[in-house]
Amino acid sequence: MNPMDNTHQLKKFIEVNKLMYNNNVVNFIGIITINTKYNKISKKEIPIMINFNGFDNNGVLEVFDDDIVPEIFPSKFNAKYDSFENINDIYLKITGFHKINPNISNYEVTIVPIK
C-alpha cells in the first residue's frame, strides 16, 4: 500500500472512532494483538499514541507497555513503511517487517480503541 493510502486509513480510523486530536497527536487506550513468527500478545489493553508532527510525517503509531520488548515485538509503526488498514470501521490492522530483529520477519497487529 502506498504511504498516502496508509495515512488515509489511519486518519479514517481516528475519525470513525472519534479519537481526539491535540496538536497533531492522538492518545488513547486500545486493545492490541501482535502476532510475529515466534511470539504473540493477545488482547492486551495498552496506551497508544498517533503522531502526525514533523515534516513529511505520514503518521506514526506507537504503543507503550513494559511487556513489549522492541527486540521481540514491534512497538512503533510508520504509515510511510508499514501497511495500515481500517477494517470495517471496527479495528486497525497493521502489517510490516520487523526492522530491529529481521529473524522475526513479518508481523500483524490489530488495534481496537476503547471508547
Domains of the chain in sequence order: 3-113 (2.30.29)
CA angle 50, 80, 32 (to 5 degrees): 45
Q: Return d(Cα 59, Cα 43) in angstroms, integer.
A: 23
Structure confidence by residue, pLDDT tens digits, 26-59? 999 999 999 999 999 999 999 999 999 988 899 9
If pLDDT is split at 50, 70 and 90, which confidence band does 19 have?
very high
**Cell numbers standing for residue 61:** 503509531
**Is the distance from CB of 30 to CB of 48 less than 8 angstroms?**
yes
Report the predicted TM-score, pTM, of the whole model to 2 decimal places. Answer: 0.93
